A and B are shown apart, each in its own frame.
Chain A
C-alpha cells in the first residue's frame, strides 16, 4: 500500500459558481417570476429535463432551482422562481442584464433511458402549482414531437386562477389539439374562471388512459403526491409507470451536505426524479 487515501474523483471547482446574465424577466404572479438566463462563458448548460441548478447571489447565498426549459444547444435556459427565502427574494429584485451565478446542472433527471421508455406511450403529466416549473423542462421537449407519443395529457392545478404560471403557453397548449390535451383546475374559482374547480385529483377521472401503456409524471407540493398516487394506483396504473420529481432542501448538490437525504437516498444524486417503484418503501419520500 503506498497511500492511505483512495481518491475516486476530485474537482477543484466543485463549489465555484460561474456567472450568468439575466436576459429576460416576466412577472407571472406577485410571488413567481420567470427568468431567462445565459451563461456568460457561452457554453451550454447541458442539462437533462428534470435537473436543477444551484443559483447564487453573491453576498446572499445559494438555492437549488429547477431548470424550467428543455435541453438546448445554446447557452440559455429558463428558471421560474417563487420568492420564499433569502436568495429567491433577492432574485426577485434583480433586473434584466444583472449577473447571477450558477453551479450545475445537478441531480438525476429524465435521462435517455426514461425518455426512450416514454416513446409510443400515453404521457400523463400531473402538476400542482409551482410543480409545473420542473415538468415544463420535459413537457416542452415532448410537445414539439408529440407524434412520438400515443397521447400527451397535461393536468395542471393551482390554488386560484391568477396563480397559473406560463399562461400564454398554457393557452397555446389548449389550442394544439391532436393527441395533446391540457386539463386545468383551481382550488378556488372566481368569476373569470369557467374551468374545473377542485383539487388536482378531481381531474384524474376525466382522463382516459390505458394503464398498460401510460407513463405518469408528477410534481407538486408534498401533500399532493399522496393523493395523486392513491388515485393513479386506484386506477391500477403500475408503480413502475409513475415518475415523481421531488423537492428537498439542498446546500451542496453533490451528495455531501445531507440536507436532501430521504433515508439513505440523496435526492440531489439519485433524484430529484424518481420512479415510484424504486422508492415506494422509503418512509421519508412522502
Chain B
C-alpha cells in the first residue's frame, strides 16, 4: 500500500449512506445475498451489502471478463463490427485475494496485445477494496501465497476497526470517489492498528516454503508422484477453472441468429482441465492425459505465469478447493512437492 496515501476515517453508517448517494448515478456491485447464496452482484441499496465476507462461488473477475461475451457482430450484408461494451461501475468490498487476482488479469489483458473488451470494462471501474483480518474459511490459503495483502490494483482500501473504517484512497479515481463520503481525518497509526490486528489474525499462518522459488521447484518436480496421486481422482469437469479468479483461457464460437441474417462471435470461459482443450485437427491431442492437464493448470499458477507476473498466480482464495468434487487442492500439491507439512 502507498504509505503516503492520505488516511481518512469513516463510520459504518456514513459509509453506507455514501454508497446510497453513489447509487443514484452509478452501478455498484458488492457482496450481497441472493436466494441464500452470497455473491458479488449489482445492488440497488446499501442495505443489500454484506459487510462481513463469506466465500463466493465466482470472483469479481466476471465483471471484466464475463462467462460469455459477444466480441464481434455481423450481418448478412457483410457488415462486421467489433462489439465492446462497458459502462462505469463501482466494485465495492473486494478482498485482497481477489484484488491480487484482478491485478494478474490486468497484466495479462493489458499487455502489448491489449484486450479491448476487458480493458474497456476495467478502465471504467472503480475498485474499493476491503481488507481482511483473518482467514475466511478452512479452504482458503491466501496467506500461503501472500495474497492476503493487496499492494496495488485497487483505488480505495477500507480497513475495519470497530464501528468505523480506515480509508486510504490511492488513485485519482479513488480520491474522486471518496468525495461522496462524509469522512474525518485519520493518521498512519490507524492503519498500523489495523495491520497489527491483521498480523494477529494471521499469526502462525506461514507462506509456502520457498514461495519465491516455486517456479524452479515446480520445474524440478515435473515428474513428482503427486501428479499421479492427485490427478487419479480428477473428474476433468473444469469446475476449478470456472471459479478461479486468475484463469483467463477462453474459447471463441460463432452463433447465427435463427433468421440467418445476422450473427455473433462469442468468447466463453474455457478450461485446460477439459480433455478437448489442446486437441488439434485430426484428433491429435497434446494433453490427452488428465495428469498432464492437472500439471499444466497448477504449473501455470506456480511456474509459467508466476515467472511472468512476479508473484504466485494462484491467490489462495480457496474457490477451486470448495468446488472440487474430488478434493484436489493446489495447496496440498505444492505442500507435497515442497515437503511442507502445512501450517
Q: List A residues at the B interface (Cβ < 8 Å).
A: 1-19, 56, 58-62, 82, 84-85, 88, 99, 101, 221-222, 247-249, 251-252, 254-259, 261-264, 283-284
Contacts and interface: CB of A to CB of B under 8 A. Distances in A.
Most interface-central of B115, B122, B155, B277 (chain A CB within 10 A):
B115
A131 to B, nearest CB: 12
Contact of B249 (A2, A248, A258, A264): A258
5 contacts: A4-B174, A7-B123, A61-B253, A257-B270, A261-B296
B27 interface: no
Contact of A10 (B114, B287, B304, B305): B114
A15 B171 contact: no
Given A4-B152, A258-B272, A58 B80 contact: yes
A259 B270 contact: yes
Could you say which interface size class chain B belongs to? 35 or more
Contacts of A259: 249, 270, 277-278
Contacts of B279: 249
Given A1-B152, A259-B270, A84 B116 contact: no
B127 interface: yes
Given A252-B250, A257-B251, A258-B249, A4 B173 contact: yes
Contact of A257 (B72, B111, B250, B286): B250
Contacts of B80: 16-19, 58, 101
Interface of A is mostly: loop
A11 B296 CA distance: 29
Interface stretch (B40-48, B102-110, B133-141, B331-339): B102-110
B171 A284 contact: no
Interface string B268-308: 00101000011111101011000010001001100111011
Contacts of B222: 283
B281 A61 contact: no
Contacts of A56: 265
Contacts of B286: 222, 248, 262, 284
Given A2-B171, A4-B152, A4-B171, A15 B248 contact: no
A1 B170 contact: yes
A11 B287 contact: no
A8 B112 contact: yes
A1 B299 CA distance: 32
B250 A256 contact: yes
